[in-house]
Structure 1
């Protein structure tokens, strides 16, 4: 009898008795859309240097927009973690830039890498 009750207990979630908590990441994905003011200062002691990151739309795990006045290509989101992670690329007249980061507590933390320039730099941003 104990075995039968144990097996019944194990099967309950499968039949909809248990419910999942609302996903924090779906709320975070929606809060990712908008205009972000990004500080790209080259060193911690440098003056603030701002550019804009604009997330226009999200479709499943893809997004589009602009960064530093360049169209975003290959914008990808990963919302399988407590923070929303993102990655994308941009180009200027002669270089391709790779960007990635995460959204935590309403603030963006990112890093940019440009292999041709031998350049990488962190950044932070707030939503406007």
Structure 2
């Protein structure tokens, strides 16, 4: 494994560890912490899937993923974009105050998604084996 892959993996692990530790610190109860960790797992799972989709190993995988990506894109462009519009309207409403627990979950889940997508992409694209 190249030095860049090792460095990428170390950064991924450190950032994920930071999110994990923070997930225990944010919230008033063990139930809050458990739900925070569930958000991390969900974000990591989605990011892992996204990383696999954007970095196919072979032409055959690329053809299979292309069909799947079209389906996901159709779903995302319709239903999810409609929901995102409502979320952004609420977030930018001057009377809206984001609870720190929900804000953490939103940022932690998004961060976990991005981290997993990046590390999956990097390893699938640049790994020697």
Bigger Rg, structure 1 or 2: 1
1 or 2, which has the higher strand percentage? 1
Q: Which TM bucket (shorter chain)?
A: under 0.3
Provide the TM-score with structure 2 as the length reference.
Answer: 0.23
Greater fraction of residues in helix = 2
Which structure has more relative contact order (CA 8 Å, sep 6+)? It is: 2
